[in-house]
Structure 1
Amino acid sequence: MFPEERGPGRGERLSALAQQHGALLTLVVAVVVASLCFDTFLTGDNLEGMALSSSFLAVVALGMTFVIVTGGIDLSVGSLFALGGVLAAWGSRYGTAVALLLPLAVCGLIGLVNGLLIARARLAPFIVTLASMLGARGLLLAVTDEGANTYLVDKSTWFTHLGQSKLLGVGVPVWITVALFLLGGVALRRSRFGQYVYAVGGNEDAAALMGVPVARTKSYVYTLSGLCAGLAGALNAAWLASGVTILGNGMELDAISAVVIGGTLLSGGAGFLSGSLVGVLLLKVIQNIINQIGSLDSSYQQVVSGAFLAVVVIAQTWLARRRRRMR
C-alpha cells in the first residue's frame, strides 16, 4: 500500500488566500471607510475620475506583472510612458494610425532590446532597464527640443475621441484596460506562453531542462512591457490632447508597487493580473482619500504607498516561509 497523499492543510490554504487576496480585502475596507467618512467619495464624478486615472497605470502594471512573474524588473516603463505620449501627440498630425503605431513600435523595440540584453547577453535586468530608462528620457528630450516643445493633439480627431469619449457612461480608456486585462489573464493563466512565464520565474534552470524557451520567453515579456507602457502613454496623450514631457516620473515604482501589493512575488514564479489591478485601484483609492482630506500634502501618498509596499513584502515573505514549513 502506498502512503496516502495529503493535500494542503487548513493553515496552508489560509496563508495562500491571504497572500493572494489580502489586497482585495484591504481595498474593500478602504472603500467602505472612505464612503462613510466622505460624502463625495462614492459620487459618479469621483468614481469615474479614479477609474480613468487608474486605467493608464493599470496598463503599465499589466506588462510589469509578466516581467515580475519571470523574476525580472523593468525600470524603464515610466520613461517609455512619457515617450509614448509625446510620440503619439507628434504622430497625431499624420492620422490616428500613426499616433497609435509610432509609440507602440518605438517603445516595443526598446522593450525588445531590454529583453535580448537580459535573456541573450545575461545582463542584470536592473542595470539594463535603468539604462533604457535614461535613454528613453534622453530621446524624449531630443524629440521635444529639451522639453521646449509640447505637441498638441487636434481635439476633432478620432485619436482624441479615443481618450476622451465615453461608452455607457465610462471612459473608453477604462474599457480598453478591462479588455487588455481579460486578454492578458487568459494568456497568463490559460496559454502555453503563460505556463512558460511561470516556469521561468519558478526555476529558470529547471525550466530550461524541461524544454522551456527561456530566452525567448524573457524577450517576449520585456517587449510586452514596452508595448504596454507605450500604449498607456498614447492613451494618456489622447486624454490630455497633448504630449506632456514631465509625466512618468516615478511611474515605474508605482507599477511595481501595485503588482507586488496585488500578490505577485518579487522573486518570481507566482502572481496574477487581477491582483495587479486590485493593487492599482488600492493605490488610487489611497491617493483619493488623501485628496479628500485636503489638509494633507500630496507627498503623504508616497509615504503611505511606501509603507504599504514594505508591509506587503514583509507579509509575503512571512506567508511564503509559513507555507514551506507546513509542507
Structure 2
Amino acid sequence: MTTDTGEATMGTEDALATTADDLPPGTTGSERLSALAQQHGALVTLVIAMIIASLAFDTFLTGDNLENMALSSAFLAVVALGMTFVIVTGGIDLSVGSLFALGGVLAAWGSQYGTAVALLLPLAVCGLVGLVNGLLIARSGLAPFIVTLAAMLAARGVLLALTDEGSRTYLVDKDSFFVELGQGSLLGIGVPVWITVALFTLGALVLRRTRFGQYVYAVGGNEDAAALMGAPVTRTKVAVYTLSGLCAGLAGALNAAWLASGVTILGTGMELEAISAVVIGGTLLTGGFGFISGSLVGVALLKVIQNVINQIGSLDSAYQQVVSGAFLALVIVAQTWLGRRQRVL
C-alpha cells in the first residue's frame, strides 16, 4: 500500500507541473524548451499572425476592426473559459453551443422582468444542465462525450419548444439596463470585453492559486492517484461541468444583450470552436495540463484567422473552418510530439 501511495504522490505532482516554471529542479533544458513551446507557442503564433496581417491589410490594426474582433471574441472566450476547466480534468463538454443559444433566448425573454431575471434565469437553467452533466459523469461513470451530447440535443429541443420551432424571436427593450451589458462601453472598450477580462483573471487565479485548481489538475493528470491522495474527484468533476454550463449561459445572455434579441440559430458548432481554442492554447485533450491564458490566446488566434479571411474578401467564409481545422490538427500533432519527446527525455 505504501508503494501505491508513493506512486500516487508522484503522479499527482507530475500533473501539477503545468508550466515550465513548475518543472522539477532536475529538468533538462530540452524538457523546459518543450514545456515552453506548449505553453507559449500559441502566443508566438498570434503575434506573428497579427504582424503579417497588419502588413498585408491597412485596416487590420484600425480601432474599429480591433474593437469588432474583441467583441466577437468575448462570447466565445467566456465559453472557452468553462471548457478549459473541463478539458484539464480530461473531460469534454459538447452541450455548450446549445446552452449558449438557450441562455440567449432565456435572457431575452426574462429581460421583460428586469435585468436580474435576464441574467439569473439563463445562469440557473444552464448551470442546472451542467450540474446534471457532472453528476451523470462523476457519479454514474458515464462517458462525458455521450452525456454532454445528450444534453446538447436536449437543450436544443427546449430552445425550439420555447421559440415555436424557431419562428418566434424574443426582443430586448433597447432602453433597458440589460442592453448596456452588451452594447455599453467603458473607456472606449465594450462592456463584454471587460467582463471577459475579469472572468479570465478570476479563472486564472482559481486554477493556479487555489486548492480547487490543484484538484482539477490532479484529476486530469491521474484520477486514481488523485483519489488516493484524498482529492474529492467526484465533487471536482461535478463542479467543472457546472462551471461550464454557467459560462455558456452567461455568454448567451451577454450575446442577447449585445444583439438586443434572443437569436435561435446561434451556437451551432460553438462547442467545437471552444474546444479548438482551448487545445490551440496549449491545453492537452488528455487532461492534466493547461492554463487559462492559453485559452484566451487560442480564441484570439481563431478570430484573427477569421478576420484575415474576411479581409481578403475573395475567399468564401467556409475557408475559415478549413483553416481553423487544419491549424487545430497541426497543434494536436505538435502537442503529441512534444509530449512524447518529454517522456523520452
The interval holding the TM-score normalised by the smaller chain is over 0.9
Please give the alpha-carbon distance, in whole angstroms, between the structure 2 residues aligned to 1:22 and 1:94: 46
| Match of residue 287 from structure 1 | 306
2:242 counterpart (206, 223, 234): 223
Deviation above 3 Å: which 4+ runs of structure 1?
Answer: none
- SS at the partner of 1:105? helix
| Match of residue 307 from structure 1 | 326
2:265 counterpart of 1:246: yes
2:126 counterpart (101, 107, 111): 107
Instruction: For residue 6 of structure 1, report the CA deviation from its aligned partner.
Output: 6.1
Q: Percent identity at matched positions?
A: 83
Provide the TM-score with structure 1 as the length reference: 0.98
| Match of residue 16 from structure 2 | none
| Match of residue 271 from structure 1 | 290
2:56 counterpart of 1:56: no
| Match of residue 52 from structure 2 | 33
Q: How does 1:1-327 map to 2 (within 5 A)?
A: 7-326=26-345
Please give the alpha-carbon distance, in whole angstroms, between the structure 2 residues aligned to 1:323 and 1:103: 43
Instruction: For residue 298 of structure 1, report the CA deviation from its aligned partner.
Output: 0.3
Provide the TM-score with structure 2 as the length reference: 0.93
Query: How many pairs does the alignment contain?
Result: 322
Summarize deviations over 1:59-108 as a string: whole Å, max 9, x none.
Answer: 00000000000000000000000000000000000000000000000000
Please give the alpha-carbon distance, in whole angstroms, between the structure 1 residues aligned to 2:217 and 2:32: 20
Please give the alpha-carbon distance, in whole angstroms, between the structure 1 residues aligned to 2:167 and 2:31: 57
Q: Are residues 9 and 113 of structure 1, via their aligned partners in 2, closer, same or farther at CA, if it must alter by over 3 Å?
A: same
Please give the alpha-carbon distance, in whole angstroms, between the structure 1 residues aligned to 2:308 and 2:182: 25
Instruction: For residue 10 of structure 1, report the CA deviation from its aligned partner.
Output: 1.1
Instruction: For residue 9 of structure 1, report the CA deviation from its aligned partner.
Output: 1.0
Summarize deviations over 1:139-161 as a string: whole Å, max 9, x none.
Answer: 00011111111000000000001
Structure 2 counterpart of 1:316, one-letter code: Q
- SS at the partner of 1:140? helix
Instruction: For residue 8 of structure 1, report the CA deviation from its aligned partner.
Output: 1.1
Structure 2 counterpart of 1:78, one-letter code: G
- Stretches of structure 1 lacking an aligned partner (at least 5 in a row): none
Please give the alpha-carbon distance, in whole angstroms, between the structure 2 residues aligned to 1:11 and 1:211: 33
